[in-house]
Amino acid sequence: MSDSEYALQARLEAKPEKADEVAEFLESALPAAEAEEQTTTWFALRLDETAFGIFDTFPDEAGRQAHLDGEIAAELMERADELFVEDPQIDEVEVLAAKHS
């Protein structure tokens, strides 16, 4: 078992006038992700002008659940109506193979 077998993939569609604010929010969330001991990797992505994503990995289900119960997810859901066209789509996914340098 790897230290990143359990993962979350989130897709966020920003309101056009809030896209820059979403980008700033995601950039500002990095210290919170770094503080999560069970978060192995955390990526905030800009897919196009208004589409964003978050991909993160964990060593086990407890780590994934701790992240879902954590600060980033709480603020994301708290601000969903303000920032997004629809609620963020968050999927639990399984990492089949990974390379870490």
pLDDT, tens digit, for every residue of 20-65? Answer: 999 999 999 999 999 999 999 999 999 999 999 999 999 999 999 9
**What per-residue confidence (pLDDT) applies to 101?**
75
**What per-residue confidence (pLDDT) applies to 1?**
57
**What per-residue confidence (pLDDT) applies to 100?**
79
Does residue 25 contact residue 79 with C-beta atoms inside 8 Å? yes
> Domain limits of the chain?
6-94
Query: pTM (2 decimals)?
Result: 0.93
Question: What is the Cα–Cα distance from 95 to 76, expressed in whole angstroms?
Answer: 23
- What CATH class does 6-94 carry? alpha beta
Sorting pLDDT into bands at 50, 70 and 90, what band is 99?
confident
Question: What SS3 state is found at 49?
Answer: coil
The 10s digit of each residue's pLDDT in 8-30 is 999 999 999 999 999 999 999 99
